[in-house]
């Protein structure tokens, strides 16, 4: 069963909001491809790209844990931190420079979560092999 992963993945469909933001800015600024040297569009594109780069990996690692029977907390807590990280990152990347503190915090949440998920998967898999 992938109940927890399904809930986390469903919440993370916030990706669509990021896509709509890029589409809206492209239409507003009449930019078909690239960023047209428009700072807001560049930030929106990077927010969307960053989400697409890291979230599928996190969801896959969460699914592996859940499929292998990991405890509920080992699956749920990283899922929540991944969501929090991506929300904070989106807020931060959409602030004009030099205010990068939320972006950096969101990045730390995301990286910490992915590293933790890798460690959890390795540890849980070894544990399951032993018992």
Domain boundaries, the chain: 3-126
- Span 20-61, pLDDT tens digits: 999 999 999 999 998 999 999 999 999 999 999 999 999 999
Residue among 123, 59, 50 at smallest CA distance from 88: 50
User: Measured between alpha carbons, how far is 48 from 115 in angstroms, rounded to an integer?
Assistant: 21
With cut-offs at 50, 70 and 90, classify the pLDDT of residue 98: confident
User: Residue 28 class from Cβ within 10 Å (0-12 exposed, 13-18 middle, 19+ buried)?
Assistant: exposed
User: Measured between alpha carbons, how far is 124 from 122 in angstroms, rounded to an integer?
Assistant: 6
The third-level CATH classification (topology) of the domain covering 3-126 is: 1.20.120
Measured CA distances, 83 to 14, 31, 68, 78, 89 (Å) = 10, 30, 22, 9, 10
The region of weakest confidence among 11-15, 42-46, 69-73 is 11-15
Residue among 76, 87, 84, 89 at smallest CA distance from 117: 76
With cut-offs at 50, 70 and 90, classify the pLDDT of residue 106: very high
**Cα maximum dimension of the chain:** 60
User: Measured between alpha carbons, how far is 109 from 115 in angstroms, rounded to an integer?
Assistant: 10
Mean pLDDT of the chain: 92
Task: Provide the pLDDT for residue 96.
Answer: 74
């Amino acid at each position: 069963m992938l109940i927890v992963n399904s809930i986390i993945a469903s919440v993370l469909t916030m990706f669509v909001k990021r896509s709509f933001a890029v589409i809206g800015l492209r239409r507003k600024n009449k930019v078909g491809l690239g960023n047209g040297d428009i700072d807001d569009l560049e930030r929106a594109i990077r927010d969307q790209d960053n989400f697409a780069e890291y979230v599928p990996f996190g969801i896959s690692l969460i699914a592996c844990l859940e499929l292998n029977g990991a405890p509920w907390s080992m699956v749920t807590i990283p899922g929540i931190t991944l969501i929090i990280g991506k929300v904070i990152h989106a807020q931060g990347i959409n602030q004009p420079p030099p205010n990068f503190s939320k972006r950096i915090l969101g990045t730390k949440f995301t990286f910490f979560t992915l590293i933790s998920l890798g460690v959890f998967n390795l540890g849980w898999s070894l544990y399951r092999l032993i018992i």
